[in-house]
Amino acid sequence: MAGDGDKIPHGKLCWLRNSPAARRLRLSHAEERITGRGGESAPQSRGGIGGLLVGSWELLLLMAFVTQHQIQKGSSDYFLTSGDKIRFFFEKGVLDERGDFLIPKEKSISKIGHALHAYDPVFKQITHSSKVQELGRKLGLERPVVVQSMYIFKQPGIGGEVTPHQDATFLHTEPLGRILGFWIALEDATPENGCLWFIPGSHTSGITRRMVRAASGTSTCVEFVGSEPAYDNSQFIPLPIRKGGLILIHGEVVHKSELNSSESSRHAFTFHVMEAKDTSWSKENWLQPTPELPFPSLYT
């Protein structure tokens, strides 16, 4: 789906515009288009930071198209080329085979990523705020660069489980220990709505598994190399946090979050930085800098 301005095939777009989901969207929302770089429908700050224009019917129209490709084929390229764009990802099972929403449309989205820090003015300001830069300097970061950012919704009732993992599995560097996550709670995060859980001290044991880009021509876009250890659930401790709080996540600490089975969402904005001084970013990582968006400095 990437390339050529990420245009939607005309026939598919016409079908979507005439689908019941599109008709419902047109009835309840203005027909507007807010566009970001390269034709991507970009979230803007309007009506509260959590809104992200999920109510825009054209945005949801694009989202419906994307989900169909995720259900079928074509999601690989959409994911692999999302590092320098603002794109939309969904909870499982939110559309039927015809593209109709099975749940309210505003509850269907799982996350938005992965370049909010570069192309959305609100999240760019948050990422490069004076407080964040001051914290980076206090932590001794000399040349931190921002590699990705995400808005995570953790929808009530269906917000999916995130299994135990280490961020360095997906964002690998040589040497290790150069990735740091900033996780900002936009709503209260509790054990009931899916707060983060950590294994204390697990950042000292390195990693045993990596996610790398699969060879071209294979049926999947990424593959795992190495083995994932079996974690003892009794070792995890929850880290509930109030709205506005910040959690710093070491790249090798083991963490997870449970299914959100509550009636409350758990919105968060998160971004990852890499200490670029004397560090090599793996060319096998799914996420790669591009000529259009080299990893920008955290410091401005």
Lowest mean per-residue pLDDT among 14-28, 103-117, 155-169: 14-28
**pLDDT attached to residue 96:** 83
* Distance (Å, whole) CA 241 – CA 199: 17
Q: How far apart are CA 293 and CA 44, in angstroms?
A: 20
Residue range 229-263, pLDDT digits in tens? 999 999 999 999 999 999 999 999 999 999 999 99
CA–CA separation, 274 vs 91, rounded Å?
Answer: 28
- Tokens read off for 113: 């990523």
CA distance 14 to 176: 48
Q: How many CB atoms lie within 10 A of CB 51?
A: 14
For residue 211, the one-letter residue type is: M
Q: Cα separation of 255 and 231, whole Å?
A: 10
Q: pLDDT for 67-94, tens place per residue?
A: 444 433 446 788 889 999 999 888 888 8
Burial of 288 (0-12, 13-18, 19+ CB in 10 A): middle
| Average pLDDT score over the chain | 80
Question: How much is the pLDDT for 219?
Answer: 75
Which has the minimum average pLDDT: 100-114, 140-154, 199-213? 100-114
Q: How far apart are CA 117 and CA 112, in angstroms?
A: 11
Q: What is the pLDDT of residue 64?
A: 44
Query: What angle, rounded to 10 degrees, do the helices at 20-28 and 57-71 form?
Result: 160
Confidence of residue 129 (pLDDT cuts 50, 70, 90): very high
The predicted pLDDT at position 255 comes to: 98
Question: Could you report the per-residue pLDDT of 6-55, keeping only the tens digit for each?
Answer: 333 333 333 333 444 434 333 333 222 222 333 343 333 333 444 444 54
- Better-scored residue on pLDDT, 73 or 223: 223
Longest dimension (CA), the chain: 55
Tell me the mean pLDDT in the region 255-275. Answer: 97
Q: Quick one: tokens of 159? A: 């917000």
- Which is more confident, 211 or 52? 211
Give, in order, the Cα–Cα distances in Å from 37 to each of 83, 85, 150, 290, 292.
13, 7, 17, 14, 10
pLDDT score of 93: 81
What's the pLDDT score for residue 75? Answer: 63
Q: Please identify which residue in the block is written with the tokens 């419902």.
A: 24
Q: What are the residue ranges of helices labelled H in 72-166?
A: 75-80, 116-119, 121-127, 130-138
Quick check: helix, strand or coil at residue 241?
A: strand
pLDDT, residue 132, reads 98
Q: What is the DSSP string of 256-273?
A: EE----SSS---EEEEEE
Statement: residue 181 has pLDDT above 90:
yes
Calculate the dihedral angle through the C-alpha atoms of 152, 156, 161, 166, rounding to the nearest 10 degrees.
30
* Distance in angstroms (rounded) separating the CA atoms of residues 161 and 104: 20
Average pLDDT over residues 129-134: 98
